[in-house]
A and B are shown apart, each in its own frame.
Chain A
């Protein structure tokens, strides 16, 4: 029986984040919270392989109580078990402290019910660090395949997986022993429509909540702000570049607008480059 664990994160939909033009502050109101899209695709892949091989999928999410909605969403997509790891003492964690807590939880799940594959999204769209997946793999002393785009084969008897991963230069086909950790691109699987029984189950589903008090134990030295080597030292708004000059082609005509553009390019010393002359 196949057992996969998927780490999921709730994130603000960053495509909707705006800055208040008057105060210069981040507008958080009305920004919807969604399951990190890469995690959603990773979960879809885990569910796909569960259906192929028979088995179950556990999801784990670390965050406040409001993350329950994201866990329910995962149940709706076909996960069997959901664990919310939530404690005020975990707050303020950087990627190192986050990877510690997740690794401890995953280790405990693995001891209860051995895992074959652990899925992460390639990164979360709110932080974009891509650091937690590799961190967890190191802590669990497990092989990792990042930027996974396709799982070719899972062989539970041989305990191997063959995965395609996309780099900037090529696609690699990698074979690695199980249990292994994958961080996934969206290509890893399409998000399916939820079957009705899963949908119904998700509506009433209450995830297990793991805290500092149990069922797991965590070292207070390695969690939250204390376990985080990095701190935010300063925050600021990005410097505004000097605005350039604007012309309206509808008013002065396209030709005049282009004349102006080429003249400015010449002044900036890039005209040769622009007409493909510089090699």
Chain B
């Protein structure tokens, strides 16, 4: 019994806006490469080919396709057209629906950014397949009754209290969205070889059904906590919105940015863009300082992958200490000013 050779395609949506690629695209190429390697043996035995492919939509964005090859894509489908210059739901999902029906990917990963979330649900529905949001662990694994390994997509549920592993047995592609910074970016390799395949775009401006009249750039929009090396976060223990002045001072001394726990955002002490956790951003800085944060699960799932965590809290039993590398039990209004002083002193000593 022989069957034709299959190509098992692991797809990554390469997100860009204004010609600027979102780094989650590279992180997902790394994930897709790992997933592809997990089926390599099974595929070799069946005589199948396994490839990691990027899908790139935009206008005059070829350089991003080239970069994607350096981050591990074997092939990039490039859909370059003025109608795709700025992200809009209809032309993007329709274009991807067409190309996905043509190539029939096995797995399709999309960043869980505002753009990616807007897009992923539309694609999954138009293709009539399953989509698992905000995955924190992805693996190709054997599932009883399935002829090939399936994508085991694990995500936090109930505010991080439960980890649920979701599978999509029969429908393809198996889709997952993944937040930025959940996985590390792979190293760039200038020697990597790959192919860029230009595909025709069928959607027209009339079919776009939305017109962007204006872009407004606000101050808060520039807060980019996901890719900062140092984050100093404040929680309810600050006692009020004014406490964030001290948090900011420490963040500035450390060359970092300000984060916050959900209660502070809900109380209106600080803008949502600063929120870390399941309902905010996922971060993995080199240093994370949690000041006056008790450590609700929904906060911990958003920051526990940080390299080094310092927690400062009055309550010795605060759950934040469970994930901290160093826990300081004490008054943050005593500890932080001393810390700022110490950092400044060490900086001067260095200079």
Contact = CB atoms under 8 A, between A and B. Distances in A.
Interface in B128-180: 128-134, 143, 152, 156-171
Interface string B88-129: 011001000000000000000000011101111110111011
Nearest to A126: B158
A235 interface: yes
Given A144-B122, A233-B152, A138 B279 contact: no
Overall SS of chain A's interface: mixed
Contacts of B194: none
B210 A230 contact: no
B325 A264 contact: yes
Nearest to B97: A138
B349 to A, nearest CB: 9
B115 A258 contact: no
Contacts of A204: none
A95 B128 CA distance: 11
A76 B328 CA distance: 48
Contacts of B152: 233-234
B221 A170 contact: yes
Contacts of A34: none
Interface string B275-307: 000110000001100000000011001001001
A241 B152 CA distance: 22
A68 to B, nearest CB: 24
Chain B facing A: main interface SS:
mixed
B213 A162 contact: yes
A19 interface: yes
Contact-residue size bin, chain B (C-beta under 8 Å from the other chain): 35 or more
Interface of A: 14-15, 17-19, 26, 94-96, 99, 125-135, 137-139, 143-147, 162, 164, 166-177, 228-238, 240-241, 243-250, 254-255, 257-258, 260-262, 264-265, 268, 270, 273-279
Interface of B: 17, 89-90, 93, 113-115, 117-122, 124-126, 128-134, 143, 152, 156-171, 209-218, 221, 229-230, 253-256, 262, 278-279, 286-287, 297-298, 301, 304, 307-310, 316, 321-331, 334-335, 338-339, 342-343, 346-347, 350
Given A146-B118, A257-B328, 14 more contacts: A130-B121, A131-B133, A146-B89, A167-B17, A176-B211, A229-B129, A230-B166, A231-B168, A243-B324, A258-B328, A270-B308, A273-B286, A274-B308, A276-B253
